[in-house]
Amino acid sequence: MIIGYARVSSTSQSLDIQHEALAAAGAEKVFSEKVSGRSTTDREQLALAMSFAREGDTLIVTRLDRLARSVGDLHRIIEVLTQKGVGFKCLNQPGVDTDTSTGRLMLAMLAAVASFEADIRHERQMEGVRKAQAAGKYRGRPASIDPSKIKELKAGGMGAAAIAKAMGIGRASVYRALAA
C-alpha cells in the first residue's frame, strides 16, 4: 500500500497541492496535518501514518521538509520505517528512495542540507533580534507576572488561589513567585 503524508506549518496554508500530488502518485491513504515541522513531537498524524504502515508499504511525501526539518528527526523516522519493512519515497526528489543504497545516500545528503538551511535561517533570525535589541526596537515578551505584587498580596493575607484569580495566573505561578 502507498501511504501519503502531507503537512503545512500554519492553519492558513492549504494542503490541497500536496493531496493532489500524493493522489496522483497512487497514495491509497493520506495522513495530513497543519503543524510546525521543527520537531516530530506533537505531530499526531505522522505518528498515525507510521503506526498504520505495514511491511511492504511505502510512505510518500511531496518534499523532504514535509516529513522532517532536522537530520536527527529524519533518521529516526526512516529507521522506524526500515525496521517495520516500510519503504520511503519523496516525490519532488526522485532520487530519494530507501529501497536503494543510492537513494539512502541521497536522503542523508538532502537531510544534511535541509538541516544546515534551518540552522542558517535561525542564526539570521537571532542576528536580527540582537540588532533590533541594540537599537532599542525589540524588547522581547513583557513579563506577565510581577513577583513583588504577589508577595505584597500574600503579605496582605490573601491565599494562593485568591492571588492567582486576582492576577489572572495559575496557582503554580503564585507558588513559584513566592518561593523565589
**Inter-CA distances, 26 with 1, 6, 30, 58, 109, Å:** 9, 14, 10, 11, 26
DSSP letter for 31, please: E
Residue 140 is classified by DSSP as -
- Cβ contact 169:158 at 8 Å: no
9 is an active site residue = yes
Catalytic residue among 9, 70, 115, 173: 9
What is the DSSP code (8-state) at residue 26? T
Distance CA 64, CA 116 (A): 14
Phi, psi of 35 (to 5 degrees): -155, 155
Residue 29, helix vs strand vs coil: strand
C-alpha cell at 111: 537531510
Contact 77, 108 (CB under 8 A): no
Q: Could you tell me if 60 and 25 are in contact, meaning their C-beta atoms sit under 8 angstroms apart?
A: yes
Task: Give the catalytic positions in this structure.
Answer: 9
